[in-house]
Structure 1
Amino acid sequence: LIFQSTTFALPKVIDEVLADIAVSASAVGWYAFVVFAAASVGQLIVGFLVDRWSLKWVFLVVAAFQVLFFWVMIGLSGLLALSVAVAFMLVVFGQIPINDVLIGRVTRSEWRSRVFAARYLITFSVSATAVPMIAWIHAGWGFDSLFALLAVVAAMIVFAVVLLPRALAPAT
């Protein structure tokens, strides 16, 4: 839900928080491109970290930073909002390899393709609900409410990660 909501909503968020700077659709598109391009590095950073440190701790830090950055984003505008958008997208994109590594490490090889298929089925189903949810929240309460909801969802992820075993047993 977090990945889909942030990637789908970001151009409109930029349009609103940079209303004085991004005065055309092209400018909004370029700012969104810059945010996504900068944030894509998060996957490389987190991939490097999960190869060297505990997956649980890397996941915990990434999810905790999501909570922080979503709360900080509430009420911001201008270039500060753009900077925080880069930060929250960095950790949102950073979670992508964590999800895949988690499945790869705990799923037996004969089940792995089916588990990945189930993961993508769930992901695409959630993606389908994200757009109308964003529209509904934005129309009724604005993007600050969306960021508050995303912070709560990220906090639930933090809680779930805390419940993971200290060391994940490798699958065979």
Structure 2
Amino acid sequence: MSVPSSALPAQATPAVVPWLLNIAHAIDHMFLLIFATAVAAMATEFGAARWEDLMPVGVGAFVMFGLGSIPAGRLGDLWGRRQMMLVFFFGMGVSALLVAVTQNRWQLAAVLTLLGTFASIYHPVGIPMLVQQARNPGATIGLNGLSGNLGIAVAALVTGYLVKWAGWRVAFVVPGLVSIGCGLAFAWLCPRETEPPHKRTSKARVTLSQAQLARAFLVMTTAAATGGILFNMTTNANTQLMAERFRGVVEDPAMLGTLLAIVYAIASLAQVIVGRLIDRYALRPLYVGVALLQIPLLLIAAHSQGWLLFAALTGVMVSIFGAIPFTDAMIVRYVDDRLRSRVAGMRLAVGLGISSVAVWALGPVVKGVGFTTLLMVLAAIAAVTATIVNFLPDEK
């Protein structure tokens, strides 16, 4: 969908700016998972006997990742998306540097919460900024999703090696400096907006009545919550899941991180494919199909070990990553550009606020019932997602 040239002149926007917005998505997801990847190495230093006991310290980051989306989205529409992205880049970088100098659990919890607050800016601001001039928004969202999930792969790969060679603190310092560098590049290359988004007049691609729009918002928010639980539970647990299920096969943390990075890299390609399909077909049947695919794959992974787990986990992450573009596509398809950041912020606050509980519960759940039961519960949640999505409005 294109927008009036007065929104943000295309001729004034260098081609590198969309790439910086995609890199920002990678930074967003990478930074949120550095802690989950390095937690086993950090546990002893922070007085925890097992990684599961330290994991709840990170819940504040994911709570604020959701709740912070409301003010971030509002500021993005009313103040400007460019300005908010600068706050994102520099805030993420400084927060990561602060994590590297924490000395106790309270400091770690506080700074991770601060990091989550800045991380909340990207989705309600960066994605609407990226698609506001896109001719094929589904493909644009798919490529953006690929970038975000490659950030997850980088977190698994780079964090594993940095922890092994230089310690967990360096694993936060290096990405922090990269984010600050990207912020400087964005400030230099991205032109100022000629008007704030809330003054624009572009319309949504699909016109819905107020009742249909309310139903679509309810569906996208609920599906985002269940999908977020699947995403948070798997991405935060996969490092330790592979360490447990590969015992006696591969035990080097750096090698396990490499294998997990391969899983994420393969799974990320699903978003590009799904994004292209979204531009051509109605959302409801596509989303239902992807959600249903998650169920058998999660059940297979629940009972797998070693290389069979690697294959099953790759399928699981393909289906979970493949579901991600749908909620952003709903906003592009159903919501006017002048409102997108605020609508995205409200949807993310509810959805991610609920799914953030998954991060808090992950350690205690795994400690209490194990990974097999956890994965079977996630399969049931996938079934709930498929049911919810059936209530999307008919696009005819």
Q: Please report the TM-score for the alignment, with normalisation by the length of structure 2.
A: 0.41
How far does residue 108 in structure 1 lie from its aligned partner after superposition?
3.2
The aligned residue for residue 31 of structure 1 is: 259
The residue type equivalent to 1:119 in the other structure is R
CA–CA separation in structure 2 for the residues paired with 1:111 and 1:152: 34
The residue type equivalent to 2:259 in the other structure is Y
The aligned residue for residue 239 of structure 2 is: 11
**Runs of 5+ unmatched residues, structure 1:** none
The residue type equivalent to 2:388 in the other structure is A
**Cα deviations by residue, 1:4-33 (Å, 9 ceiling, x for unpaired):** 111111111111121122211112111111
The aligned residue for residue 74 of structure 1 is: 302
The residue type equivalent to 1:108 in the other structure is D
The residue type equivalent to 1:63 in the other structure is A
**Runs of 5+ unmatched residues, structure 2:** 1-228
Q: Conserved in 2, the CA contact under 8 Å of 1:62 and 1:95?
A: yes
Q: How do residues 36-115 of structure 1 correspond to structure 2 at under 5 angstroms?
A: 36-115=264-343
The aligned residue for residue 119 of structure 1 is: 347
Q: CA RMSD in A?
A: 1.6
CA–CA separation in structure 1 for the residues paired with 2:340 and 2:360: 32
The residue type equivalent to 2:353 in the other structure is S
RCO higher in structure (CA 8 A, sep ≥6) = 1
Q: Conserved in 2, the CA contact under 8 Å of 1:60 and 1:158?
A: yes
Spell out structure 1 runs of 4+ moving beyond 4 A. none
Number of positions where the alignment pairs a residue of Structure 1 with one of Structure 2: 168
CA–CA separation in structure 2 for the residues paired with 1:52 and 1:109: 21
Identity %: 30
CA–CA separation in structure 1 for the residues paired with 2:394 and 2:293: 20
Q: Conserved in 2, the CA contact under 8 Å of 1:14 and 1:31?
A: no
The residue type equivalent to 2:297 in the other structure is F
* Structure 1, 112-121 or 61-70: larger mean CA deviation: 112-121
* Structure 1, 65-74 or 127-136: larger mean CA deviation: 127-136
Structure with the greater alpha carbon radius of gyration? 2
Q: Please report the TM-score for the alignment, with normalisation by the length of structure 1.
A: 0.90
**Cα deviations by residue, 1:124-166 (Å, 9 ceiling, x for unpaired):** 4345422221112101111111111111111011101122223
CA–CA separation in structure 2 for the residues paired with 1:121 and 1:165: 22
CA–CA separation in structure 1 for the residues paired with 2:335 and 2:265: 31
